[in-house]
Chain A
């Protein structure tokens, strides 16, 4: 079980974790020192995290442009969002991107993690190699990928029209290049999580299974996958949430283009809110986005958790 899984679970279900607590002065008020340890951080957190959020929600009911005067406009911003093609397109792109990237990330990293978990030569070296993308700024390595897609691949794969004409300028397929970059980086972290999960499975289980004549695929389905399902849950939830908010890979590869075909919700909020004079409108967009992300995460947890086997 992972700490993060538990975090999401406890917040999602409000389930109280019961534990035998042996405390010094149980029942009475805590020492004032403990309060002093928490208050400053709590105030700072509220001031820089919760307060901007509340201000944002407040302004989403106005017509504030980011400067000058403003008036209340009720829920007009929210209604307009649903009629705005650019917004709908950004949501469409973000979801398409996030779903494809999540599936690819998890399939690839689980495969690689199983390869790393097998008895292979120089395992620690390979593990180190696969983790390298984690320490690289995705924006910077993204520029390298941009060169790869716009300069190298058109020359190397000149026989394939899709690549020969620079996939990044293709309105229909540019998003796949962004998926490639995002998956490339996200796999580093997922592989490590899956690997840690795989190492918790005792080898005897596989020995017993092969004695019973179970083929590798059957072993994967009946032993490996059920036993790492908690890791699967956390990886899927975290990657989907991260991918929905995609920003850096787009900036480095297409900058939202061609046109607005690869514009994600985060990017739209950034662009419209800062340079488009749509402060209030885009905060309304952000509020909707927040609600969407929360619902998606909670739904995923409900669905995935039901599948999890409980062997503990």
Chain B
């Protein structure tokens, strides 16, 4: 891969307003005729995404009788909003939301701080044996499946008193390191070192160079890593399931477990609870959709 392609693709990736870009492309570059067959195909197939979401909303607004007598797809009428109040109480929603929010924000914060620093040190020293070794060590860990560390890890976290929200933050930060360092390193290596040299000539220390010169420049990658970490920490199930011991510490996905078993037929309340668990991230996504997609794309494509 040549340096030119790297920089040009980064320039493209770093341009924030994709809306304007794509509109321009639609208007000028893309002189093809509108493909109505493709539009129809895309519209029809998108039902597979939308139908389960509609089902979730529709059941959450129904009364238990309506659900028992129907398929779940009928329009909910009259609307029953008490489902949400019930779900709020039964899952201890504020607590679960707080736990998940805390874990997610904490993980994103510490991930951005640590992964970028490590990646910077590695990127600028990859020609040295020690740093190259560390780099490949972290990369190799990408291939280790979670089940192999799962059982001993649980012993270790409970021994260290990390079987709580703080422990989850630590684990997400550490386990994300492999992939994040990889994403950052490729990007940092493409930043011209002259920028740093100029700062160094002015007497800035390496830390200062990193925080004041490099960190602002890797903004797009911070967004990417932040999004990936956020979605992972918010939605993850298996790690909280095995690590957490105190029921008060449980995260949103874990809280949905309440509805399996004893309240098995209580679909309306359960669905209200599912909606509330999915809503925060979904709403954030709807408002930052293009930004999220371009962020995720940037993380996987160079």
Contact = CB atoms under 8 A, between A and B. Distances in A.
Interface string A93-126: 0000000000000000000101110111101101
Interface size class of B (residues with CB under 8 A): 35 or more
B102 to A, nearest CB: 17
B217 interface: no
A44 B171 CA distance: 10
B152 A11 contact: no
A128 interface: yes
Interface of B is mostly: helix
B47 to A, nearest CB: 10
Interface string A184-214: 1000010011011100000100000000000
A139 B253 contact: yes
B144 A290 contact: yes
B296 interface: yes
A137 B206 contact: no
A198 B235 CA distance: 29
A93 to B, nearest CB: 15
A33 B208 CA distance: 11
B212 interface: no
Nearest to A288: B148
A136 B34 contact: no
Nearest to B120: A37
B267 A151 contact: yes
Contacts of A192: 293, 296-297, 300
B213 interface: no
Nearest to A156: B71
A269 B149 CA distance: 11
A34 interface: yes
A24 interface: yes
Contacts of A135: 231, 235, 281-282, 285, 292
A38 interface: yes
A143 to B, nearest CB: 6
A305 interface: no
Given A33-B206, A42-B118, 9 more contacts: A3-B301, A49-B141, A115-B42, A119-B30, A128-B289, A137-B252, A140-B253, A152-B73, A248-B238
